[in-house]
Structure 1
Amino acid sequence: MTPRRRQELDADDLATVLEEFIRSFIRLPSAERHTFTTLSVLHTLTHRGPMRLTALTTTEQITQPAVTQLVDRLERDGLVERRPDPDDRRAVLVQVTPAGARIVHTRRRDRVDRLARLAETLTPEERHAIGAALPALARMAALMDDER
């Protein structure tokens, strides 16, 4: 989809372009293959720190049984570990292990490398336009996080 060139923001065009970009972006080749939910949990724990299972059900938008099963598998694979919550010894926190964090960082490095190669094929004007849009896109992402 090539959006129409204009100055005002068309939310439909924005949604369409972002959906296509994100669909391709999350599927960029990586040496290690994991499900989207697995990668999302690892990313969340890497960037937000240890969390309770109940918090993960909210951030990942999956059921309690599903997150429990996923964390069990990730723990078996050595990608996360459970620790007692220092604020409430009855509760458990899930935290990413160095192996889990390495997956997140490797995928990010792969994506940055891929985006850099793609950006080289754009015109200087296109690269400038994307760069100029980054602060507004970052603000929109923050607003979306605030709404949750």
Structure 2
Amino acid sequence: MSAPDDAALAELARGLSFAIGRTNRRMLAATQGLGQGHLNALATIYRSGPIRPGTLAQLEFVSAPTMTRTLRDLERRGLVRREPDTRDGRSILISVTEAGEHQVLRARSYRAELLADLLARLDPHEVATLRDALGALERLATIEGDPGDRPGGRRDS
């Protein structure tokens, strides 16, 4: 199988962006006022355990000032707490509170139920296609680095 050309990749990117974006917006109701960035950061903290803010910013592909604002909001809501890093007194670690853990688990559950309901409305061939694509989609979600960093990559702002 040959590699898709730039036009085919651009068309696929537009289609995926639309489909993923629209599906994601449907799931935002589970966040009770938390934006996608806030929920993503909270879920990463939950998954990773205590984490430095700079490391979290890198994992979430946001700037340090953006992460600082996000963490301040999450802390104000009682979803995360700051603790001194015992290995480096100059640093802090962020961990999820019990309320934060509850928020992550509730959002995950709601989103999974919503997606299951939507998947049930597709025909079996469409479900099989999505199942077959799941590995590639998971890989897509975890590719590190800025897309503009790839060889021959360009940054469209």
Does TM, normalized by the shorter one, top 0.5? yes
Q: What is aligned with 1:86? A: 86
State how far apart, in whole Å, the 2-side matches of 1:117 and 1:18 are: 20
State how far apart, in whole Å, the 1-side matches of 2:70 and 2:31 are: 21
Task: Return 125-134 or 55-64, whichever deviates more.
Answer: 55-64
Q: What is aligned with 1:129? A: 129
Residue segments in structure 2 that go unaligned for 5+ positions in a row: 147-157
* Runs of 4+ more than 4 Å apart: none
5 Å matches for 1:71-82?
A: 71-82=71-82
Q: What is aligned with 1:26? A: 24
1:12 aligned onto 2:14: no
State how far apart, in whole Å, the 1-side matches of 2:121 and 2:69 are: 43
TM-score, normalization: structure 1? 0.79
Change (3 A) 1:112 1:77: same
Instruction: State the number of aligned residues.
Output: 140
State how far apart, in whole Å, the 2-side matches of 1:65 and 1:133 are: 35
TM-score, normalization: structure 2? 0.75
Task: State the 1:31 CA deviation.
Answer: 6.2
State how far apart, in whole Å, the 1-side matches of 2:136 and 2:64 are: 35
Q: What is aligned with 1:52? A: 52
* Letter of the structure 1 residue corresponding to residue 68 of structure 2: T
1:119 aligned onto 2:135: no
Contact 1:30 1:107 in 2 (8 A): yes
State how far apart, in whole Å, the 1-side matches of 2:16 and 2:36 are: 17
Task: Return 96-105 or 57-66, whichever deviates more.
Answer: 57-66
Residue segments in structure 1 that go unaligned for 5+ positions in a row: 1-6
Q: What is aligned with 2:96? A: 96
Change (3 A) 1:31 1:58: closer
Contact 1:25 1:111 in 2 (8 A): no
Q: Residues 74-100 of structure 1: CA distance to partner in whole angstroms, max 9, x if unpaired?
A: 222210001111321221101111211
State how far apart, in whole Å, the 2-side matches of 1:90 and 1:101 are: 27
State how far apart, in whole Å, the 1-side matches of 2:91 and 2:9 are: 42
Q: Residues 97-116 of structure 1: CA distance to partner in whole angstroms, max 9, x if unpaired?
A: 12112212211111111111
Over the matched positions of the two proteins, sequence identity in percent amounts to 33
